[in-house]
Structures are given as structure tokens and as C-alpha cells.
Structure 1
């Protein structure tokens, strides 16, 4: 019998001068999410963030701080999310992303799956410590039902 194992994914929240967030539309399921993916066994966490972001957007970033840890309880995936700084390149679709776009925080909050929107909202919450959340793939569990509040143009 095989012992269950976790996999680790990495992603980054990168914003532009208008405080919009770079997001991708996945080719495999059409969902809008942060650029990221599974960390490879032989790479450091930071190198994995850089590689995944580049593979999905075509740009080079630098991870600058951990903003959250998220566990999908059904799949056993632990996601590490970082803030990132754009260093070089122009975002464009790649083999892994059908589309790449800059979204406002309001659009993230209203149009993205809550478990993925929270990763962005947590990262942008002023002065917040890294979030630690569990979910079932669609909804937060153990009392985590809402993402951290982030000031918007309406606040």
C-alpha cells in the first residue's frame, strides 16, 4: 500500500503601477488563477516560483515575501503564495496559459473562485501576516469563509 503524500505548489501575486494583478486563464480547465504550479523535487521554493511564473506568463519575476499557505484537503496540495516583483518581459499567453491579463482587485473578488481569489486578497491586505487556510477545492473549511478585506476604490 502506498503512503499518501502531499504535493507542494507555488504561486506569486504580481501587481502593476495601477495595482492590478497579473492572472492567467489555464488551458486545461479555463479557470482564471494566479500563475503557479507544482514545485519540482530538486528546486528551491524561490526557483520554483520564478520558473512557474515564467512558464505561464513569459515574464521574469522575483519573489519578495510569503503571503499565505493554503491546503486543498481533498487533493493534499499545499500551496505557498508569495508577493512578487516583475523584473523583465511582457506578459503573454504560453503553452500553459490560454490568456494573461491584469485584473483589478474588485474583478478578482467577484469573478475568481473564492479559494483562489483569497490568495490574491490575502497577499494585498496591508500589514497582514501570512494567511494559513484550508479548503476543499471550492470553499474554505474550518471557519475560513471569507478572504481578507482589501481596500478598493469604493472603500
Structure 2
């Protein structure tokens, strides 16, 4: 809290009760009465993470054992995208990463899921599966010849292919009141 807010709280305590009754009103949607529903979208993150040999980190999720995929998961309430990707990768694989940028945003309209894919590099840790979540964790080379055998689900495959030769998207994370830029990923192109 700011010094001004602390001072105001102190003065308020000195004055005692200032009102007998209070009421709180909430703004309603401009939509027709009774037709507004809060958003139900789920935001997820995943990471295209490479090591110093150019291998890609993949996991086999226990609930989707038919395919390998990039590690990731749901963003928790109050969590930033960056916090979520770091947490999910560590939980599923046991490693820490450095992030480079965002390579894509994807939407599953059937389940109302928005997925943000980060690209990053291995920083530290020993890979290991997460009990009850991942049954296999590995670094492996991915190319156009083997991707169909490794990643069998088309929507996971397209996200990996977009991240292989990325066109990074701009991204900013900031706080307001007062405005404070926390992180910005610049738009850049990577050529192999």
C-alpha cells in the first residue's frame, strides 16, 4: 500500500464510525437483463523448449498417451502467462527454462480454450516424468520425416511446426495504476 493510503487508514481509525449504513452496488452488463454470463474461456500455455543439441523437449501425458506433445497446461487464477509456463514445464519435466518469445496463439472453439505457445531454451534440471501427469519426458530431434510418428494429434503438430521456424509475436505484460512494463518480447524472425 502507498504511504498516502496508510495515512488515510490511520486518519479513518482516529475518526471512528463515519456512517450508520452502507450499500454496495455492482454494474450490470449492458446486455438484456438475465442474458449476461461470465466468460468461460480457459487459457493454456505450452513450450517449444530446445537444448544445446537442438533437440526438443516432449512429454507423453497420461491422459493422452497416444501422442507426444510440448509440455504445458492451464494458467491458474491470478497467474501470469510466464509464471504458468515456467510452473507447468517444471511440474511436468523437472527442468527450468529461459523464454525467448511467443510463436503462436491457438483457439479450440469447441472447448473454448486459448493456447499460447512459448519458445525457450533449457536452463537447468534433470528431466523426469511427473507422477499422475506425464509418463514420459525426453529431448529428441524433430523433423518433417519423424513428426507424424512422434506427435499424432494434428493440432499439437501444427503448433510444433509453427515453433520450429518461428515468426515471434509481440507480447507485453504490465501492471496498471501506475503503469509498469514488466516484460516485452519483441517481434523478430529467426532463419535457419
Indicate whether the TM-score tops 0.5: yes
- Structure 2 distance, partners of 1:59, 1:23, is 12
For residue 28 of structure 1, what is the aligned residue in structure 2? 63
Q: How many corresponding residue pairs?
A: 131
Q: Once structures 1 and 2 are overlaid, which stretch shifts more, 74-83 or 94-103?
A: 94-103
SS in 1 for 2:159: helix
Q: Which has the higher contact order (CA 8 A, sep 6+)?
A: 1
Residue 98 in 1 paired to residue 135 in 2?
yes
**Aligned counterpart for 1:66 among listed residues 93, 96, 102:** 102
The structural deviation recorded for 1:71 is 0.5
Residue 89 in 1 paired to residue 125 in 2?
yes
For residue 75 of structure 1, what is the aligned residue in structure 2? 111
The equivalences for 1:1-155 within 5 A come to 3=38, 5-30=40-65, 31-95=67-131, 96-106=133-143, 107-112=146-151, 113-125=153-165, 128-130=167-169
SS in 2 for 1:105: coil
Q: Which runs of 4+ in 1 moved over 4 A?
A: 1-4
When the two structures are superposed, what TM-score results if normalisation uses the length of structure 2? 0.62
- Structure 2 distance, partners of 1:40, 1:84, is 21
Contact persistence 2:101–2:168 (CA under 8 A): no
When the two structures are superposed, what TM-score results if normalisation uses the length of structure 1? 0.76
Q: Once structures 1 and 2 are overlaid, which stretch shifts more, 90-99 or 103-112?
A: 103-112
CA RMSD of aligned residues (A): 2.0
Q: Where does the alignment leave 5 or more consecutive residues of structure 2 unmatched?
A: 1-34, 170-190
The structural deviation recorded for 1:13 is 0.7
Q: Where does the alignment leave 5 or more consecutive residues of structure 1 unmatched?
A: 131-149
Higher strand share: 1
- Structure with the greater alpha carbon radius of gyration: 2
